[in-house]
Amino acid sequence: MLETIKEWRRLLQARKWMKQNASFLPAWHAYVGYESDLFDAFAEGEEAATVAANRGLDPQLLQNWIDTGLVLGHLSRQEERIQTAPTMLQYVSKSSPQSVGALLHEMMELHIPTLLRFPELLKGEQKPSFENEKFGSTVAATSSLLEKLAFPKVSHWVKNSHAQSVLDIGCGHGGYLLKLATKIEGLKLIGIEQNEDVVLQARKDTSSSPDVSIEFVHGDFRQWEGPGEPVDLIMMNNILHYFSPDQRGVLLDRARQLLSKNGSVSMITPLYMTSSGKAFSAAFNNFMSSHENLYGFPTEAELETIAGEHGFRVKEKHPVIREGSWYFVGLEQA
């Protein structure tokens, strides 16, 4: 009798883990559709055999992917023709300007493979190096997805501080600077970015707004001599994980040297283990600390301490995405 109960319990546990894993399926399906341009292939409605033949794809695997998409509602069928659901076409196709596919790319090609190496890393295997040159464009693209929510907080801080000049460290594609340029007249704007592809994209994005003038510097902030004259505001958006706890102090010291007398710092950053963002920030810090050259995000208390030790005070802190543990943090000089 006892053995039977044990077996039932074991079965229920197995079922629980299987069910939890089922939630991975939509992300996997969307990722494959994005990477292999399959949502575009079925945009107008097409037969599976035609797509397999035209694109040289394995017909059996394609059929399995289609069957899964039909189950998930990512695709629909009319007789023999398969068609992509409108939301998938809009948000998960490479050709759509509203695509969030870069996020799936980052999750599947960066986060999950790294997290799967955890057992070896725990045993002391050499941590991999995050390849910023290879993944820089993806990471810059996914960070910029936050801008819509984060920008109003940044803009508010810039306006309230009456800044005339802004430096963005690790500016990525320059989205924050571009938005500031269009929202507040007369600002002097400088961005520094170490990844060459990313900085080229930032210059390209800005060139489509002829009235906007932003200086983009290609280089590593740690070796940069600075902008020549003091700036009123320094942005550090989504860059803390590139700096070890010690280097964060150096970053703040250098920022203080470059700031004008009443100059301030604004940050958009995840914080570790905030009350409503525990799960997300746990996943993030597992990923970051699995690399030899990335570092987990600080807790709120750690950020306050390091700011205090390097001549700053946390003046404002507001959630940008609560469940993601993403915050706006405004620092003033102490």
Find the binder of ligand SAM among 88, 154, 171, 189 (CB under 6 A): 171
Q: What angle do CA 10, 16, 19 make, to 5 degrees?
A: 140
d(CA 46, CA 77): 9
Q: Does 143 bind ligand SAM (CB under 6 A)?
A: yes
Of 66 and 154, which has the nearer Cβ to ligand SAM?
154
Structural tokens at position 27 = 């992300």
Burial of 261 (0-12, 13-18, 19+ CB in 10 A): exposed
DSSP character at residue 211: T
Q: Does 259 bind ligand SAM (CB under 6 A)?
A: no
Total residues in contact with ligand SAM, by rule CB under 6 A: 23
**Which of the stretches 90-98, 131-139, 286-294, 302-310 binds ligand SAM when contact is defined by CB under 6 A?**
131-139
- Closest distance to ligand SAM from the beta carbon of 215 (Å): 14
Structural tokens at position 118 = 């955890």
**Which of the stretches 9-17, 48-56, 80-88, 165-173 binds ligand SAM when contact is defined by CB under 6 A?**
165-173
- Closest distance to ligand SAM from the beta carbon of 22 (Å): 31
Q: What's the order of all strands across the beta sheet hosting 75-78? A: 46-47, 81-84, 75-78
Q: Which amino acid is at 139?
A: V
Q: Does 15 bind ligand SAM (CB under 6 A)?
A: no
Find the binder of ligand SAM among 172, 319, 324, 330 (CB under 6 A): 172
Q: Can you tell me which residue has the tokens 């996020």?
A: 103
d(CA 13, CA 189): 56
DSSP β-bridge partners for residue 321? 326
Q: Does 144 bind ligand SAM (CB under 6 A)?
A: yes
Q: State which of positions 17-76 bind ligand SAM (CB under 6 A).
A: none
Q: Which residues of 269-306 are buried (b: 16+ CB within 10 A; e: fewer)?
A: bbbbbbeebeebbeebbebbebbeebbbbbebeebbeb
270 contacts 327 by C-beta, under 8 angstroms:
yes
Find the binder of ligand SAM among 30, 139, 167, 271 (CB under 6 A): 139
Phi-psi region of 159 (alpha: psi -120 to 50; beta: other; left: phi over 0): alpha
x/- site string to ligand SAM, residues 205 to 244, per CB under 6 A?
A: ---------------xxx--------------xxx--x--
**Which of the stretches 40-48, 167-175, 208-216, 310-318 binds ligand SAM when contact is defined by CB under 6 A?**
167-175
**Which of the stretches 2-10, 41-49, 75-83, 137-145 binds ligand SAM when contact is defined by CB under 6 A?**
137-145
Query: Which chain residues interact with ligand SAM by CB under 6 A?
Result: 132, 136, 139-140, 143-144, 170-172, 175, 192-195, 198, 220-222, 237-239, 242, 268
